Amino acid sequence: MGWYIGFKLHLLCNEKGEIINFVLTKANVDDRNEKAIDSLTDKVFGKLCLFNPLVELN
């Protein structure tokens, strides 16, 4: 437990599906990591909505 090999690609896309920015992190970096999110969204202005298909809404 706790062993991860590889990398994660975090993408920021607009409503048209065009890639705005991306960040490549080590596989063991948490998806909620503040540095990764800040570097991904540092030049974004306006509203930011996050989508996670793994989260179920009741």
pTM of the model: 0.64
The 10s digit of each residue's pLDDT in 20-46 is 999 999 988 888 888 988 898 888 877
The 10s digit of each residue's pLDDT in 1-16 is 566 779 999 998 888 9
In the chain, the percentage of residues whose pLDDT exceeds 70 is 76
Q: Any idea where the domains of the chain sit in the sequence?
A: 7-41
* Phi/psi of residue 20, nearest 5 degrees: -95, -45
